[in-house]
Structure 1
Amino acid sequence: MIEIALHQLQFYAFHGCLPQERVVGGDYTVDVRLILPDATTAIEEDDLNGTVNYASVYEVVRKEMEQPSNLLEHVCGRINRRLLTTFPLISAVTLTLTKVNPPIGAACLGASVTLTTKREEA
């Protein structure tokens, strides 16, 4: 088993339940962890076909982040499902989506949702 991770991907997006969030937008970060049950080909043969290209993973996340949604939970679910359907070598995805400086009336570095999805659940 191998884990591939992308940390603190940064986006400007238009997610949120408040009308202002859908107009003004805000900063978001995404952390994604991918579990591959077998990466022997990548490890032993130095072959990209035996793993997941993380530049391609970023593109999937970017495209999903461009679609406005009310809930971070919904965005996480969409991204996880898309990663699992796009990359057959992945057996599980854990994604944390953080809304930086959320409109909650308090000083806060961020509000996050973390979702783990296994292939059989997608």
Structure 2
Amino acid sequence: MGIIKVENIRVFANHGCLKEETAIGSDYRVDIKIKANLQSSSVSDDLADTVDYVFLNRVVREEMAKPSKLLESVAKRILNRFFEEESLITKATVAVRKVNPPIGGDVEMVTIQMTHKRKN
């Protein structure tokens, strides 16, 4: 087994419960941690034998582009796509951070994190 991380993916998106949030949008950061069998790719040196970072980034960008009220919904969609589209992934964690959230205080960011494991 091995771990692949794609960290601090910067995205501008329109998520939130307030109308202003979905109209104006804001900055987000997404971190991904994937657990997969990397033994084959470490020997073959072939992209087809591993989880492609381009795929991971594309899924994040596509799902972040769909407005949602809750970051939990976005994270769940990202996880669902990872497991539906890449059979090598055995476990995945997604953290979605909203920068400067409008919550009535001086808060740098809020983060939700979700993890999913493949069922045998």
TM-score range, shorter chain: over 0.9
* Aligned residue number for residue 16 of structure 1: 16
**Structure 1 residue 60, shift from structure 2 partner:** 0.8
Relative to the length of structure 1, the TM-score reads 0.95
Q: CA–CA distance in 2 between the matches of 1:120 and 1:22?
A: 35
* Aligned residue number for residue 50 of structure 2: 51
Relative to the length of structure 2, the TM-score reads 0.97
**Structure 1 residue 40, shift from structure 2 partner:** 1.5
* Aligned residue number for residue 109 of structure 1: 108
Q: CA–CA distance in 1 between the matches of 2:20 and 2:45?
A: 48
* Aligned residue number for residue 79 of structure 2: 80
Judge conservation of contact 1:93–1:116 (CA < 8 Å) in 2: yes
**Structure 1 residue 5, shift from structure 2 partner:** 0.4
* Aligned residue number for residue 68 of structure 1: 67
Q: CA–CA distance in 2 between the matches of 1:61 and 1:71?
A: 15
Superposed structure 1 runs of 4+ greater than 3 Å apart: none
- Kindly tell me the number of residue pairs found equivalent between the two proteins: 120
Judge conservation of contact 1:41–1:49 (CA < 8 Å) in 2: no
Q: CA–CA distance in 1 between the matches of 2:119 and 2:65?
A: 26
Q: RMSD in angstroms over aligned alpha carbons?
A: 1.1
List runs of 5+ in structure 2 lacking aligned partners. Answer: none
1:54-104 deviation per Cα after TM superposition (whole angstroms, max 9, x unaligned): 011101111000000000011000000111111110011100000000001
1:10-53 deviation per Cα after TM superposition (whole angstroms, max 9, x unaligned): 000000001100100000000000100x2221111211121111
> Counterpart of 1:12 in 2: which secondary structure?
strand
* Percent identity of equivalent pairs: 38
